[in-house]
Amino acid sequence: MSDYDLIIVGAGPAGLSLAARLAGAPLRIALIDKSSEAALSEPAYDGREIALTRTSIERLRTLGAWQRLRAEEAAPLVRAEVLDGASSYVLPFTDRRSREPLGALVSNAALRRALFECVQVQSNCDLFTGRTAHIGDIDDKGASVQLQNDRALAAKLIVAADTRFSALRQSQGIGARMVDFGRTMLVCRARHTRAHNNIATEWFDRGQTIAMLPLLEGQSSFVLTLDALDMAGIKALSMEAFAREVERRTQRRWGSITLTSERFYYPLVAVYADRFVAPRFALLGDAAVGMHPVTAHGFNFGLRGAFALGREILAAQREGRDIGASRGLSHYERDHRRATLPLFAATNAIAKLYADERIIARWARGAGLRLMDATPGARRIVEASLSGAHA
């Protein structure tokens, strides 16, 4: 008999979401993570702000996680605007039908804390923290993982939610398409003297991409993407000198800048797994789809995947089927690939186009923005994706 029905490796937002989705089900779940329980219960701020769609907010509400966020941790996102270079042209995105906010901005740390609080009190989930896991035997009856310096655990299904550079994915012979953009993303919080009016701005400028994501208390998340070599000089600046550099690079569109957090740096690498499943094994979150942040859909896709995989697991359990059998896993893979692959490909194409400094590319960017503005159908598709209407 298996120790567990399900083993989830990785207690990031996606892994936690799957565990929370299965709360109350007659399943035995093991959740394994290399971080300590203290680090999971109070995650350190890492600079990343997650743009949640309305659909994702409702899913978090279903899990009981949204209610655990503090009032000051969720900022409404009413509108998004795209700028191109020195042009005064602005391409806006709003929800024109409902006139509701597109979603909300919540820090990655706050989301992880809220989700962990949900899972921590689940009676059907055992936590194994401060441990790494390696997959052992897999056969027709079940699968096992070996915990570092500990015993092996057996289950019917293993889910890997262990980052876009998943070691477990590789151990199962699943390749992945990796797109290294050769760029580095800097993120930090900043207070500014001009109001953001809850508008998220994505500004594709010469040699740089800037985003200002609206937070509460007159703050925004400042995101700067540069060539990895150019970022080296930025890292050497003091906090005060960097604040002045932000003002210069943003042409003081947001007025005077004061940093309110330290700076964090992330290499830009997008990942799409060749397969999402193998015998008694499934990929979830960034291990399956690691998005470029330009569309802010990374966690939204991870949460969607948790609900899609959770649906198949619950259906198998209700019908007395093996939750690790290929039938349910194949359904999950087809559904999640259909939902994620088009936007993954489109996002990478956009990111490459806006990193291209050739004259023809700059012309194409400006023409593309105006074409989308003049094409209501295309605008509605993008706006629906931002709000999660088609998730």
Q: pLDDT by residue (tens digit) across 331-388?
A: 999 999 999 998 888 776 666 555 555 555 454 555 455 444 444 443 444 444 544 5
If one compares 150 and 106, the residue with the highest pLDDT of the two is 106
Token pair in block for residue 256 = 């005077």
Q: Is the pLDDT of residue 203 over 70?
A: yes
pLDDT, tens digit (0-9, with 9 covering 90-100), for 221-261: 999 999 888 999 999 999 999 999 999 999 999 999 999 99
Rounded CA gap, 47 and 265, in Å? Answer: 9
Cα 160 from Cα 306, distance rounded (Å): 12
* Pair type for strands 74-77 and 103-107: antiparallel
Residue 1 has pLDDT above 70, yes or no: no
Distance CA 245, CA 325 (A): 55
Among the listed ranges 33-37, 38-42, 334-338, 341-345, which one has the minimum average pLDDT value? 341-345
- For position 53, what pLDDT does the model report? 92
Residue whose pair of structure tokens reads 């490459």 in the numeric block: 352
Is the CB of residue 34 less than 8 Å from the CB of residue 134? no
Question: What predicted TM-score, i.e. pTM, was given to this entire model?
Answer: 0.89
Rounded Cα distance, 191 and 212, in Å = 11
Rounded to whole angstroms, how far apart are CA atoms 276 and 332? 8
User: Measured between alpha carbons, how far apart are the two ends of the chain, in Å?
Assistant: 37
SS3 263: coil
CA dist 23 and 154 (Å) reads: 20
| 158: helix, strand or coil | strand
Cβ atoms of residues 53 and 386 within 8 Å: yes
In this predicted structure, the answer to whether residue 128 has a pLDDT above a threshold of 90 is yes
pLDDT band per the 50, 70, 90 thresholds, residue 297: low
Q: In the predicted model, is pLDDT for residue 153 greater than 50?
A: yes
- Distance separating alpha carbons of residues 49 and 63, to the nearest angstrom: 20
Compare 272 and 91 and report the one with higher pLDDT: 272
Q: So what's the pLDDT on residue 207?
A: 83
The pLDDT value given to residue 378: 38
**What pLDDT sits at residue 296?**
59
Give the pLDDT confidence score for residue 83 in this predicted structure: 83
- The closest alpha carbon to 112, from 196, 51, 50, belongs to 50
pLDDT for 292: 77
Q: What does the pLDDT read at residue 387?
A: 46
Helix, strand, coil % over all residues of the chain, rounded to 5: 40, 30, 30
- 46 backbone dihedrals φ, ψ, rounded to 5°: -120, 10
Exposure b/e, 137-174, CB count within 10 A at least 16 = b? ebeeebbbbbbeeeeebbbbbbbbbbbbebebbeebeb
Q: Give pLDDT, residue 379.
A: 42
Give the C-alpha separation, 5 to 143, whole Å. 10
Q: What is the pLDDT of residue 149?
A: 78
